[in-house]
Amino acid sequence: MTPTSSSEQSVDPVVVGLVANRLHSLLDEQQAALVNTAFSPVVRESLDLACAVFDSRGRMIGQSSNGTPGHINAMATGMEHIVAEYPRTALADGDVLITNDPWMTAGQINDLTVATPVFLEGTLIAWFASCCHSPDIGGRILSAAAHEVFEEGLRLPIVKLRTAEGPNETLERLIRANVRTPDETMGDIYAQVAANQVGARSLGAMLREFGLESVDAVAAEIMTRSERALRAALRELRDGRYESRMTSDGFDGQAIDLAVAVTIDGDRVDVDYTGSSPQSPYGVNVVLNYTRAYTSFAIKAALAPEVPHNAGSFRPVRVRAPRGSVLNCVDPAPVASRHLVGHFLPSLLFDALRDAVPGGLPATSSDALWMTVWRGGETGEAHPFTLTVFGAGGVGGRPDKDGLNTTGFPTGVRAAPTEVLETLTPLVQRQRELRPDSGGPGTYRGGLGQVVRVGRRGRHGWSVNANIDRLDYPAPGAEGGLPGAPGEFTDTVSGEPLARKQLVRLDPEAEVRLSFPGGGGYGAPRARTVERVLDDVVNGYVSIRSAREHYGVQVEYVGEPTALVRPPENYRIVRSGD
């Protein structure tokens, strides 16, 4: 356990509780300021972001209500690099730092971290920071096709974006000159700066209200409480070594194998990814920061989801991955699509720990968030556009509930409304609906994926980079459940599959179909109640054929064959002897 100084040992527990609640509120205030002032739909609509507050030494005290684990947890460990690069003596009130170095924070060039030191009467007392996915950062449009990180965009070391004297105009000009969306990219950065200032202002007001000169002592107690709670949850488990393996599609037919051994020893857990594939020559590699991020998230989600999230909840978890492996890649490995491997880690860990956790854990999900980047920039295009769109498949069936449909797990990133996308660009979403039979059959069915068809207005060519997975290796079921449906990415005109994780050029009249994968089922399908199967058929989640073949339930539709609206009374169960 991390030792605490004498100044951090005697804190009024009532004050700790009050400050913890206030910090949570002001972090949500920070996030609201960021979202409401952001320029891009990536931040404003999809909430691909994280906001957090840190003590004077850069240890995370808390996070806002929303935020992806890959951002928040990687930023938490990344603050160690930021504090090391800029110690207290190198900082002054008014400074703002920025970086997108993948090995320093969130593992991808497109993720920009902005950190603001907070001063009180000349003394550094805290940090506010946020990490957001930039709409563009130059280089290749985000894909896995690069061979080195240098191809993936503008890489910023940890540098000062602003000082008390004003912005670093040279740096801003450099960023603008290297991205396809200068106004949106810089607008989001300005929003991050402003949001940090909102958090800092509210923190100062809170300290004055409680008569505190620093937040460090209270922060240390908040972290210790989370650490104790997670250690207590670990002690409830049976000591032992638990293993699992999983495969992702990788790139261009070169699959990625993931292996984990989880060793529980009292109130500690050791997670070792030895046996995973070596780092790839393509951009599906994961930096250790990101591996730690999703590992810590998975352990906490499995054992103590209600425990406040901060640096204390990281302490009982040790994470190892061989240097040069796909989960601990070495600079300058390409990393742009690292989420297509990193998002598999929670399901991998859930699979390993399923027998150890009382009550069980969900079946495997579709995991990797589907991220498509659409570009229209031909000569003559009146308004060139670059648009990043997110979508999710299904979550795995749970020990006592069905999996969630079209829900981003483990990331939590939202899909932007169709109206927003069509207003900002000439893209047209011609279909966006649930995908029947995509959830893995089980006592508790896997969550459904979705079907999205996209075309465009106008007479110019366009392109898409589909950063997607689980087309070759669908989500397996658990405890007798069956796999979810694999994903598909096709040209709707020819029906032919399109290349994944790389640039696909499209004719003006082209139309693209994305069929998202489903989550794995939990438990034997034949143990699902007849009433639940009937509900699934009525709701369009399961076809009559699948109800019969997988669940052994014969459902008959007795309504008008051409009817578009088919109420429940138009279906009936066919019993033996009927």
Span between the terminal Cα atoms of the chain, in Å: 67
Q: In this predicted model, what pLDDT tens digit does every residue of 539-559 receive, in sequence order?
A: 999 999 999 999 999 999 999
Strands (E), 164-305: 166-167, 240-251, 254-265, 268-272
Q: In this prediction, what percent of the chain has a pLDDT beyond 70? A: 98
| Number of separate domains in the chain | 3
471 shares a domain with 379: yes
Asked if residues 316 and 269 have their Cβ atoms less than 8 Å apart, the reply is yes
542 shares a domain with 515: no
Within-domain flag for 51: yes
564 shares a domain with 429: no
- Structural tokens at position 194: 């402003």
pTM over 0.85: yes
Strands (E), 277-331: 317-320
455 shares a domain with 394: yes
Q: In this predicted model, what pLDDT tens digit does every residue of 90-118 receive, in sequence order?
A: 999 999 999 999 999 999 999 999 999 99
CA 104 and chain centroid, separation: 18
Indicate whether 1 pLDDT > 70: no
Indicate whether 7 pLDDT > 50: no
62 shares a domain with 185: yes
| Residue carrying structure tokens 């087309």 | 471
Indicate whether 279 pLDDT > 80: yes
Within-domain flag for 385: yes
Within-domain flag for 395: yes
Q: One-letter amino acid identity for 95?
A: D
Model pLDDT, residue 9: 53
Within-domain flag for 328: no
Out of 258-267, 312-321, 467-476, 569-578, least confident range: 569-578
556 shares a domain with 449: no
73 shares a domain with 220: yes
Cα–Cα dist 283/1, whole Å: 37
Number of alpha carbons in the 13 Å side-chain half-sphere of residue 362:
27
Model pLDDT, residue 10: 73
Phi-psi region of 470 (alpha: psi -120 to 50; beta: other; left: phi over 0): left
Indicate whether 405 pLDDT > 60: yes
Query: What's the domain range around 544?
Result: 538-573
218 shares a domain with 160: yes
φ/ψ (deg, to 5) at 415: -90, 135
| Residue carrying structure tokens 């931040």 | 43
Model pLDDT, residue 577: 61
555 shares a domain with 480: no
Within-domain flag for 239: no
Q: Containing H/E element for 352?
A: helix 345-353
- Identify the domain boundary among 189, 209, 227: 227
Cα–Cα dist 172/97, whole Å: 13
**Banded pLDDT at 385 (limits 50, 70, 90):** very high
564 shares a domain with 475: no
The average confidence (pLDDT) of the chain is 96
User: Exposed, middle or buried by CB within 10 Å (0-12, 13-18, 19+), for 170?
Assistant: exposed
Q: In this predicted model, what pLDDT tens digit does every residue of 227-237 receive, in sequence order?
A: 999 999 999 99
**Banded pLDDT at 66 (limits 50, 70, 90):** confident
Cα–Cα dist 147/137, whole Å: 17
Within-domain flag for 104: yes
557 shares a domain with 482: no
- Structural tokens at position 247: 């495969």
Cα–Cα dist 57/78, whole Å: 12
Cα–Cα dist 551/567, whole Å: 22
Model pLDDT, residue 6: 38
Give the mean model confidence (pLDDT) for residues 306-320: 95
Orientation of helix 182-210 relative to helix 169-178, angle to 10°: 140
Q: In this predicted model, what pLDDT tens digit does every residue of 192-245 receive, in sequence order?
A: 999 999 999 999 999 999 999 999 999 999 999 999 999 999 999 999 999 999
Within-domain flag for 258: no
103 shares a domain with 43: yes
Q: In this predicted model, what pLDDT tens digit does every residue of 123-173 receive, in sequence order?
A: 999 999 999 999 999 999 999 999 999 999 999 999 999 999 999 999 999
Give the mean model confidence (pLDDT) for residues 2-25: 76
- Identify the domain boundary among 164, 198, 227: 227
Q: What contacts 24+ positions apart, CB below 8 Å, involve 545-550?
A: 546/437, 546/441, 550/441, 550/482, 550/525
φ/ψ (deg, to 5) at 25: -65, -45
Residue partners of 205: CB distance under 8 A and separation at least 6: none
Taking alpha carbons only, the member of 284, 475, 452, 272 closest to residue 367 is 475
Give the mean model confidence (pLDDT) for residues 432-442: 98
- Identify the domain boundary among 227, 261, 284: 227
Within-domain flag for 502: yes
Model pLDDT, residue 67: 87
